[in-house]
Chain A
Amino acid sequence: MKLLVPVKRVVDYNVKVRVKSDGTGVETANVKMSMNPFDEIAVEEAVRLKEKGVVSEIIAVSAGPTAAQEQIRTALAMGADRGILVEHDGVLEPIAVAKILKALADKEQPQLIILGKQAIDDDMSATGQMLAALLGWGQGTFASKVEIADGFATVTREVDGGLETVKLALPAIVTTDLRLNEPRYASLPNIMKARKKPIETVKPADLGVDVTPRLTVLKVEEPAKRSAGVKVGSVAELVDKLRNEAKVI
C-alpha cells in the first residue's frame, strides 16, 4: 500500500523567533529552516512501516515555497521514495493544505497518511483532522504507537489523563506525537541517493484548490516580557518569600 507523508518547512525549533518591528509577522529572513519536528517523526514511522513490508511506496509532500524542496529531500534521504512539491509563496492555512492534500490523496490513493500533530510555527494542530474530515476517513491523532494489520490501523493516542487506543478502518489519518519514535539521521550514502529520487512540482491551481486565507493577520506582537527576579540563598528564605511576599502559599 501507498503512504503519503506531508512535511512542512518551518523555522528551526532552536531559533528564538523575533517579532518584526512593524508588527506584521515574525522575522524569517536569514533564519535556519528545517522540517517540522513532528513531520520527521511521521517520516520515520513511514520508513519503519516500509521496512516491515507493510508499505510499498512513500510519497513525501510539502506545500510551500520552492525552497521546501529541501525538506522533501530530507524525507527522501530518510527513506521516502518520491516527492511532490505544491509550490506556493505566501500563507497556506491548514484548510488550504488539507484541500491540497485531499486532491493529492484522490490522485495517489494512499491507504495511510501520517502528518505531524502540530506545526511548530503556526501551532494550529489542525491539518490532519481537517484532511480526515475532507476525505471522510477515520483519524488517530497524537499517536504514540501505530500498528497496521488486516486493513486496520490500531493507534495509541496521548490524551488528557493518559493513553487511549482506537482502531481505524484503512484508509486512515494518523498524526504523530513526540513519543511515537526517534527519527533517524539520514546517512551520507542515502543523502546522495536521495538526489536522484524524483520530485514533481505542481501548483495549488493545478489541483483545483483556492488557497485564499480565511484569517487576516491584523497584527503580531511580542508577549509581555517576564523579567528575572531574585535569587534566594536558602530554602527557608524561599518559603518565607512565598508566604509573606508573594503570598501564594
Chain B
Amino acid sequence: MAILILADHDGAAVTQPTRSTVAAGAKLGEVHLLLVGEGAATAAASASQIPSVAKVLVAEDASLAKRLAEPTAALLVSLAGGYSHLLAPASAAGKNVMPRVAALLDVQPISDVAGVIDADTFVRPIYAGNALATVKSSDPKKVATVRAASFDPVPATGGSAPVETIAAAADPALSSFLGAEVQKSERPELTAARIVISGGRAMGSAENFAIIEKVADKLGAAVGASRAAVDAGYAPNDHQVGQTGKIVAPELYIAVGISGAIQHLAGMKDSKVIVAINKDEEAPIFQVADYGLVGDLFKLIPELETELDKK
C-alpha cells in the first residue's frame, strides 16, 4: 500500500518541511501527496514536479479552504483505506490534524518522527530531546508527524506526477474560521533556512531586535527567538525555537543573549555549527556552541554587521 502525506503549502508550492516528510515517506513506499485548501490546485501543479511523488491529490472544497482540523481529518479518514501510512510534517498544521485522524482510525499516533527504521518502527525524541525512543507500532495503520530537521528534503523539481482532483468528505461543521494575523516576511522560513539567528530576553525590546534583523539580512538568515523573548513581546510567537516551539537544524545557528535552557536547546542543538554570543561566560549555551563569543551583544552585534561587509 502507498503512503499518504498531508502537505503544507502556501498556495504556490509545498513547504520545505513537506519535502522532508516526502523523504521520510519514500523510505516506506510509494508516496502520494494530498493538498487541501485555498490555492491547493496551484501548489499541486508545482508539487507534481517533486521526483519521489507518484500522485498528487487536490481538494479545494470550500469546507477545506482554511484547512480546519475537523473537515481535513474527515477527508484523510475517508482516504485512509488505500494507505498503510498517513504522514504530515510536524508543523502546527500537521500536529493539529494528524492526532485527530489517528483517533478516528483507533490508532496511536507517532509524533515527531526523527528516524524511520522499518514500516512499523520509528525513532522519536522524548523529554525535550534528552532521550531518543525507538518505538514499534502494533497498529494496522500508522499515523505520524515527521520532524523536518531530521530528513534532508527531496528536490522540488525533476518529476511529473499526475494530479487528481478529489471531493471533500462530509463537513462535520464543528468550527469556523474567523481570521488570521499572518506575519509576512521577506526572510527565509525558520524551519527551512540555511542560517538562523535568534535573540533572547537580553534583547530588551522589540525595537532592539532590529539589530539582529540587520545581521540576518546580511546573511540571508531567518530570525528566531527564545521563549522569554516571545513572551515579552520582543518577537512574534512563531519565531519561538525550542521544545514547544520550532525545531531547527540549520548549517549555522547564532544564539544572541540566550542562556541555553534545555527547552531552547531542544529546538536547535542539531544545528551543524552553533555560535553563542552572551555576556556571561558561564551561560549553558556555551556548552553546545562551536564558537563562543563573550561580551555585550549591543556592542558585538553591530560590530558583526560591519565585519560581514568586509571581504
A contact set with B: CB distance below 8 Å: 11, 13, 16-17, 19, 26, 38, 93-95, 98, 117-118, 120-134, 136-142, 144, 154, 157-169, 172, 177-179, 213-223, 226, 228-232, 234-236, 238-239, 241-242, 246, 248-249
Q: Which residues of the partner chain A approach B73 to less than 8 Å between Cβ atoms?
A: 133
Given A121-B127, A138-B175, A215-B137; A226-B288 close (CB under 8 Å): yes
A223 & B182 in contact (Cβ 8 Å cutoff)? no
When chains A and B are docked, how far (Å) is the Cα of A179 from the Cα of B239? 13
When chains A and B are docked, how far (Å) is the Cα of A248 from the Cα of B138? 43
When chains A and B are docked, how far (Å) is the Cα of A115 from the Cα of B290? 39
Interchain residue pairs with CB less than 8 A apart (24):
A26-B126, A95-B103, A120-B244, A124-B99, A125-B95, A126-B111, A138-B174, A164-B66, A166-B177, A177-B237, A214-B108, A217-B133, A218-B134, A221-B131, A226-B287, A229-B291, A231-B286, A231-B291, A235-B304, A242-B275, A248-B195, A248-B251, A249-B219, A249-B308
CB distance from B36 to the nearest CB of A (A): 15
Q: A129-B69, A223-B269, A228-B286 are in contact. List 20 more A-B contacts (CB 8 A).
A: A26-B126, A123-B112, A128-B99, A136-B174, A139-B70, A144-B237, A159-B93, A159-B238, A162-B180, A162-B183, A177-B237, A179-B230, A214-B137, A214-B139, A228-B289, A231-B292, A231-B293, A239-B310, A248-B195, A248-B273
Q: Which residue of A lies closest to B178 (CB)?
A: A165
A216 & B127 in contact (Cβ 8 Å cutoff)? no
When chains A and B are docked, how far (Å) is the Cα of A242 from the Cα of B197? 14
Q: Which residue of B lies closest to A122 (CB)?
A: B126
CB distance from A83 to the nearest CB of B (A): 25
Given A129-B99, A214-B108, A228-B286; A168-B174 close (CB under 8 Å): yes
